[in-house]
Amino acid sequence: ADGPVEPWGYRDKVSFVFAPAGRQPLVMGHYRRGTRSAFAAGECPVHAEAGNEVAFRLRDALVRAGVPAAAPDGRNGIARHVVVRVAEGTGDRLATLVVTENVTPLRRVTGDMERFERQMSSRPVAGTQPPRFGFHLNLHDRADGFLFGRETKRLFGPMEVRETLAGVTFLLSPTSFFQTNVRIAGLMVDHVLRLLPPESCPRVLDLYSGVGLFALPLARRGQEVTAVEENRHAVAAADAAVRFNRLPDGAWRPVAGRVEAAISRLTPRPGGRAWDAVILDPPRQGCPPAVLDWIFRTLRPRLAVYVSCNPQALAADLAAIPPDYAIAEVTPYDMFPHTAHIEAVGSLVLKS
């Protein structure tokens, strides 16, 4: 990938689990690999330090207030997780405490975090505004594998933080999905923009578009983008970013729904305008065969960009693409240093 990237402090989404440990009603840490058994963490050097500061301050507040940790299934306790989003550009922080129920001792915790917010705001920051801090409570009492429950309540501070990539500002709420490593995500966005110049790719189809990580920077520079995404929260977040950034009229066309269901409606009519390029950013298991077949046998764009979070799935999908497409490049990105997880950006060009 382009340029050196610091392998420490890169996780802008900081996450810890709370758990009981022996005689201690609450410790904060991570699950041991392959288990639901948590260990108490004294530090986490891959997290953004600003996020660690918030998390450990919250842990101490919970201990002082006597709030017990919940079991992994959400029973027999209150505190389950803390998630802190740190904005790379501004240093703004958004903390979300996930609990099984809203109990009275949490008022004392909120008071402690308000004092922390005042201390943070009073720190001198040369030439910039002091970072903002928001604190939210998420209610999650179900025994499932999801990090968040259905209801989130703002306790104080902003509703979202702002993260800017390629000139586009994204509005990140407590439970919204966004890239964990914003520095590497920025390199990947720049890479995709270079592969799709507006002169040769004025019309782009973005499949599995999420919050518009690639689609909105393309639309910002005047390209006409149709973006397909099934997650309604992601579509709403992208739409809010479009309004906030005042993107050009007609440059952004969202299609809410599963890609597999949407492709029949997206096939150009005879004589109609086709897309010059397609972006694919499918889930970890890769792209369904029906979608690959539609792109490379029916749609047949001159250029396709495949963004993958699973090299094995990427290799299998590339092997299934018709031979009249050439693999121009595949560039790996170390999105999660110190792990085996690699993301990649590949481009395919129609030979004829």
295, 301 Cβ separation under 8 angstroms = yes
Calpha distance 199→344 (Å, rounded): 25
Calpha distance 81→30 (Å, rounded): 10
Calpha distance 332→346 (Å, rounded): 9
Torsion angle of the four alpha carbons 93, 230, 314, 293, in this order, in degrees rounded to the nearest 10: -160
Terminal Cα-to-Cα distance of the chain (whole angstroms): 29
78, 67 Cβ separation under 8 angstroms = yes
Q: Is 3 helix (H, G, I), strand (E, B) or coil?
A: coil
114, 104 Cβ separation under 8 angstroms = no
Quick one: tokens of 225? 């983008």
Phi/psi of residue 58, nearest 5 degrees: -65, -40
Query: Annotated catalytic, 309?
Result: yes
Calpha distance 101→333 (Å, rounded): 40
Q: What contacts 334, CB < 8 A, 6 or more positions away?
A: 1, 5, 7, 184, 342
From 44, 201, 287, 309, active-site residue: 309
What burial letters (b/e) apply to 83-119, b meaning 16+ CB within 10 Å?
bbbbbbebbbbbbbbbbbeeeeebeebbebbeebbee
Q: What contacts 133, CB < 8 A, 6 or more positions away?
A: 54, 92, 93, 94, 95, 116, 117, 120, 121, 157
Active site positions, annotated: 309
